[in-house]
Amino acid sequence: MKASRRTFFIQSVVGISAIASGKLALAAEAVKETDPQAVGLGYKADATKTDKTKYPKYAAGQQCSSCALYQGKPTDAAGGCAIFPGKEVAGKGWCSAYAKKG
């Protein structure tokens, strides 16, 4: 009975470690402002740095965390975005695809 209990605990620790390391590996990469798609959409990690002459649609207060395409919680520092699959955008960011949550 001791050997099987010991084996169970060892296997549990190994299994939990594998799951934890797998989740770390799945952490999404942040969208870079220099990414060609980001450049095309005028993405800025800090919405206040948006070029207002080039993107007149931008209005103060708009940011990714209040966009309908943002997949994180409104309070998250970063989250997924339907426009940039597999990557995360800054919650305080902005791009020209911005659509207010309704």
pLDDT single digits (tens) 37-56: 999 999 999 999 999 999 99
Residue 33 belongs to what domain range? 29-90
Greatest distance between any 2 Cα atoms in the chain: 74
Find all residues with CB under 8 Å of 25, minimum gap 6, and list them.
none
Q: What is the pTM of this model?
A: 0.73
Lowest mean pLDDT among 13-22, 62-71, 80-89, 92-101: 13-22
CATH number, residue 46 = 4.10.490.10
- The pLDDT mean for the chain works out to 86
Can you tell me which residue has the tokens 């770390």?
24
Length of the chain: 102
DSSP three-state, residue 15: helix
Name the strands in the sheet holding 87-90, side by side, starting at the edge strand that comes first in the sequence. Answer: 29-30, 87-90, 78-80
Domains: count for the chain: 1
**What per-residue confidence (pLDDT) applies to 102?**
83
pLDDT at 8 over 80: no
Let me know: does 17 contact 25? Beta carbons within 8 Å: no
